[in-house]
Chain A
Amino acid sequence: MLSTLELPDATIIAASVSDPPAFAAVFDRHWAELRRYCVSRAAAVGEDLAAETFRLAFDRRRRYDARYADARPWLYGIATNLLRRHFRDAARRGVPLFTRAFGFEDDALGRVEAQALGPDLAAALKTVAAADRDALLLHAWAELTYTEIAHATGIPVGTVRSRIHRARTQLRAHLEEIHDERA
């Protein structure tokens, strides 16, 4: 009989439908990486978001697409949505209900996200659109492939490719600019 260490995520998640505690194995397998990603992007709050990711994943486990043996793209997709919501809510926090239209642009690198990234990264990524930023960081930091990012974010692989290409181009241009200034 296989131990949970040898079973693919999809099998464990399917088992957790009738045996909920089995889902803990998914946590044990992916917590460290997912927490690191979330904390990298959102500082201390990232740990709460990582924890919330697993709770949401548990609640949604019945909808897990068993064609995907590895749950990482699924988990990172949930985490990405939570991070986006966190950044958006942080930008809107304190705005009273119904008193003004919201002018927040989803693409903007907000204060909270910028603080978490630090000044150098924030400067480099401030011109990169949010969706492109997500794709780039899922690729660079979460080490997801283009296909996995497509699965995580629900967009076509071609779109992922173009988003990462665009983000890298902008990032490269920024780095060259800095290099020129220093030279």
Chain B
Amino acid sequence: MNELEWLNEQRPEVKDDEPGRVRARRELREHIRPRPDRRAAWRPRLAFASVAALVVTGVAIAWPTGGPAPAPAPTVLAPEAPAPELDVAPLVLLSERIAQEPEPQGDATLVIRSQQYPDDKAILGHDLYLDDGRYYYGATREELKAAAVNSRYHEPLVKAAIAAPALPPEKARRAMDVAVGGGNAPKVSRSIEDNHVWVGSMDALLAGAGRKDVRAGVMTLLHTIDTVKVTEEGELLKLTATDYQGGYTENLFVDAETGVPQKFEGGVPGKTPDVVVDYDVKRVTAANWADAAGEDAAGQAPAADADPSRERAAPAPPAKAPKP
């Protein structure tokens, strides 16, 4: 008997489990049915309701005046953009502008998010991304306080973004593709690589939203995707990716001055979005992130165990209030 045969002989016996199969199938069906596109809902990363949440209806933007933001109602994606489409150069300019920002304080980025589906209440989440690569997740502030490290999934994506401005575009794209592939990836067609760069850049942008080097790098990468359209919407830039099947479109809204992500929409234009995500981004120190979360967590007081002598969280550069 060779070692492979021995390995198979030793394999733990697994009996068929029909109730388990039925349960898993039902769960999958439930997962599919009410949320026809749960892009990124599989991991505790995207989306949370924010004080700075933008409630977008078409191109009209409401700016909350304070208090917890209500869950945004599902809205209808605007049909093809009435706003002027810009040359992609704005992303290059934005990258250069971001690079001129002063060095951010803190050592972590806190993203408070709301993910909204057409027939669901908002799904809330708190994501804490440390600059050293560790990622923590909690649905609530309290859960986040108790959380052990979730993963380091974003670390290579962030590194690829930071490296991008110093690399030739093709190498920068390839580096992000490899990062998305978990360290290695077969060379793929341009359109598939575009998709990988888009997805990886958005993940990196969230994980490094409080860092100017990451935001600048992400804008550099997004500039390389020929099919991404850039339009101005008030004080925001709307980045649109349409290279999907079935008319599905993704829109990422970032602050036009800072590149800080504000909102994500996925769906078919003209129909209710499959998912809308609002982000509230803060630059924090890992030691006192709870203070920052408390300011926005539905009126909750700052953490009782927080040391008030510590430096308060410095908000990431906020989006400007849109002009009325």
**Bind each other:** yes
- Contact between A50 and B136, CB atoms less than 8 A apart: no
- Contact between B149 and A92, CB atoms less than 8 A apart: yes
Partner of B41, one of A59, A97, A117: A59
- Contact between A36 and B42, CB atoms less than 8 A apart: no
Cβ contacts under 8 Å, B167 to chain A: none
- Contact between A94 and B20, CB atoms less than 8 A apart: no
- Contact between A175 and B3, CB atoms less than 8 A apart: yes
> Across the two chains, which residue of chain A brings its CB closest to B145?
A97
- Contact between B12 and A32, CB atoms less than 8 A apart: no
Interface size class of B (residues with CB under 8 A): 35 or more
- Contact between B195 and A63, CB atoms less than 8 A apart: yes
Cβ contacts under 8 Å, B36 to chain A: 20
- Contact between A32 and B185, CB atoms less than 8 A apart: no
Contact bitstring A72-91, B, C-beta under 8 A = 1, else 0: 00000000010001000100
Chain B nearest CB, measured from A169 CB (Å): 9
Cβ contacts under 8 Å, A118 to chain B: 10, 12
- Contact between A140 and B148, CB atoms less than 8 A apart: no
Chain A binding surface SS class: helix
Partner of B148, one of A92, A124, A171: A92
Q: Indicate the member of B12, B17, B199 with the most A CB atoms within 10 Å.
A: B12
- Contact between A62 and B244, CB atoms less than 8 A apart: yes
Partner of B38, one of A59, A120, A156: A59
- Contact between B246 and A17, CB atoms less than 8 A apart: yes
Cβ contacts under 8 Å, B40 to chain A: 59
- Contact between A50 and B24, CB atoms less than 8 A apart: yes
- Residue A8 lies at the interface, judged by CB distance under 8 Å to chain B: no
| B window 134-190: CB within 8 A of A | 136, 145-151, 181-186, 188
> Across the two chains, which residue of chain B brings its CB closest to A91?
B148
Chain B nearest CB, measured from A54 CB (Å): 5
Contact bitstring B38-81, A, C-beta under 8 A = 1, else 0: 11111000000000000000000000000000000000000000
- Contact between B147 and A55, CB atoms less than 8 A apart: no
Chain B nearest CB, measured from A74 CB (Å): 12
Contact bitstring A104-128, B, C-beta under 8 A = 1, else 0: 0000000000001110110010000
Complexed CA–CA distance, A33 and B196 (Å)? 29
- Residue B28 lies at the interface, judged by CB distance under 8 Å to chain A: yes
Given A36-B14, A154-B181, A154-B184, A56 contacting B42 (CB threshold 8 A): yes
- Contact between A40 and B24, CB atoms less than 8 A apart: no
Cβ contacts under 8 Å, A23 to chain B: 28, 32
| A window 33-77: CB within 8 A of B | 35-36, 39-40, 43, 47, 50-52, 54-56, 58-60, 62-63, 65
Partner of B28, one of A55, A96, A98: A55
Partner of B286, one of A28, A98, A102, A172: A98
- Contact between B136 and A154, CB atoms less than 8 A apart: no
Cβ contacts under 8 Å, A56 to chain B: 42
- Contact between B148 and A47, CB atoms less than 8 A apart: no
Q: Indicate the member of B21, B28, B186 with the most A CB atoms within 10 Å.
A: B28
Complexed CA–CA distance, A20 and B34 (Å)? 10
Cβ contacts under 8 Å, B304 to chain A: none
| B window 218-245: CB within 8 A of A | 244-245
- Residue B25 lies at the interface, judged by CB distance under 8 Å to chain A: yes
Cβ contacts under 8 Å, A43 to chain B: 12
- Contact between B3 and A171, CB atoms less than 8 A apart: yes
- Residue B287 lies at the interface, judged by CB distance under 8 Å to chain A: yes
- Residue A182 lies at the interface, judged by CB distance under 8 Å to chain B: no
> Across the two chains, which residue of chain A brings its CB closest to B247?
A18
> Across the two chains, which residue of chain A brings its CB closest to B147?
A97
Interchain residue pairs with CB less than 8 A apart (9) = A24-B25, A40-B14, A55-B28, A55-B42, A62-B248, A93-B148, A97-B149, A118-B10, A168-B3
Question: B residues within 8 Å of A by Cβ?
Answer: 2-4, 6-8, 10-12, 14, 16-17, 20-21, 23-25, 27-29, 31-33, 36, 38-42, 136, 145-151, 181-186, 188, 192, 195-196, 199, 244-246, 248, 286-287
Given contacts A35-B14, A47-B17, A140-B11, 15 further A-B contacts (CB under 8 A): A14-B245, A21-B32, A27-B25, A36-B14, A52-B42, A54-B24, A58-B28, A97-B148, A117-B12, A136-B7, A137-B7, A154-B181, A156-B184, A175-B3, A175-B6
